[in-house]
Structure 1
Amino acid sequence: MAVDHQVLAVNGINLSIYSAGPADGRPLWLLHGFPECWYSWRHQIEPLARHGYRVLVPEMRGYGQSSAPSEPEAYDLITLCGDIQAAMDALGHTEAGVISHDWGAGLAWYLTLLEPQRVKALVTMSVPFGGRPKRPAIDIMREANADRFNYIVYFQDVGVAEAELDADITRSLQLLLGGTGEMFLQDKPADARLFDGMPEPQGLPSWCTEKEFSVYRRTLSRGFRGPLNWYRNFGRTWQRTEALAGQSIVPPTLFLLGDNDLVGKLESHTIKRMNQVVPRLEHHVLENCGHWIQNERPNEVNALLDDFLGRHYKA
């Protein structure tokens, strides 16, 4: 199937978008996470397009051929939502379905709060939502990890994580994509680095071929500065979302999680109370599955998408 590519000038940046499916099909936006790329949806694009959807897969701000501003304040979630909102406007999408993973899911939750009439169906993977927190999450993380390493706290200082991750982009991606996530829970000093104590990578994960990995590597070839900036805006996002406090997610929502996903373990308290702010929630846990859910279990994910979209956002 042919995949089209275009670059839109929106929200002060250039946004690279891949698309497939009939031009008049119902829009379906697929939003990737960290440290991924549009190609992380490779198992979903063609099946969804063949069902009649117009599938749109942006390279998110900071990735690939999209603009990557160097200043961290250019990556708060309201600004990032603005990229997708402006692209939808430019393409004439008055309604849309959204499928998302990882940081893409973090964006999708707030996009849906901002656009309750436009987003008709929402799918999020791996990252749950419990509403706007009472204070910035980074403040809580700093307090809880004052004497031990925490990867999100480590990502906060501009230039520090970049120096480690950019030193060998291939190795960094192999460790990030190929691990079980246990590197993020290692008990080590607060001044440690992300990969300290980690064994050398043993090839690629089973779900990723060398050809596929080359797309990830090319996407991150400029370095990790832009993607890491997504982590540096907990405070700014919290300030800019005050008007959204207490609001619920309106459209029908499907949340998918791998049973071995570290995020699920860290955010179990959020998952338990999700239905309080996501009243039309459907929740599925995939067995023997880690964080990279749409790649590790593509057939199961696609079947769940077909069922959910068929009921709530038919092409």
Structure 2
Amino acid sequence: MGGQSATGGTTVAGPATARVLAPAKVNLFLRITGRRADGYHLLDSLMVPVDLYDELAFTIQRGGATRITLGCDRPEIPADQRNLVHAAAELLLAESGVTAAVHVELTKRIPAAAGLGGGSSDAAATLLALNRLLEARHSKAQLAQWAARLGADVPFFIYGRPARVGGVGEIVTPAEGWGGIALVVAFPGVGLSTAAIYRQYDAAGVSPHRPEVSLTNPLPATSIAAFAGGKRPAWSMLVNDLEAVAAEAFPELRSLKKMLMQLGAEGALMTGSGSAVFGVWRTRSAAEVAAGAVRERGVWAVAVQTLEISPAAA
């Protein structure tokens, strides 16, 4: 990126910049299928990106000592090594054998600790953006492998497409036909700790579901069967094994689901480990009306649509 000037001096290329949108996700179903010896839970989930975005602006200057700085418009969000954006940048530089000064400005629009994957999406967007800006040319498969070190949802966001996700999040199998579904996402204003919800799940003594199918075989004729092959299910069949224990800890989840159903949702479900809840509508316009009605009741809500591929991963 440097070179010789006409007068014999060394020139240094200017910084590389990029602006990236990092989408939220919802889990259209989530089953717990077991637990590894190390305590990590095994899952079977259909995850889809939606058009609710955080925005990340990157500035990178190669050479010199590595320095990573992060700014965020939300003071409650850590802007240091605790933030997955910082960890992702550090990881990509180290694995690429590159030194650089990296600055990221993060604009948060996805509620935190809501089960919407905002932090994981930001981390994946960072890996993807730095891979391009540094011309590192790592494959998505390689990025996804590194992403698994950062968090269970990060590999999904590397691919950025609707997918059946298994294992502890590292098995990502694309699922076709899940774009264009109109949803209302509602957030009760209080986040839930993923680790705490899983501890409560374990304490409840719930027997994990056996995987109803492998990730590569057709689904049987069960409640989840409607999700096979891109077929739109009877939305009343939406299921999340973590929802019951989350609702015990935070009963407002039940009220929020009831509100969405009363406003006309065909089905409603908590996403991830909560605390956000989504409802399914037939059209985006109907979802917009319902989201407005939720906001009138003093609850954060937004109408979204599921994506066939996220901008960050395209």
TM-score (norm 1): 0.30
* Structure whose residues are more often strand by fraction: 2
Q: Point out the structure with the larger helix share.
A: 1
TM (normalized to structure 2)?
0.30
Select the structure of larger CA radius of gyration. 2
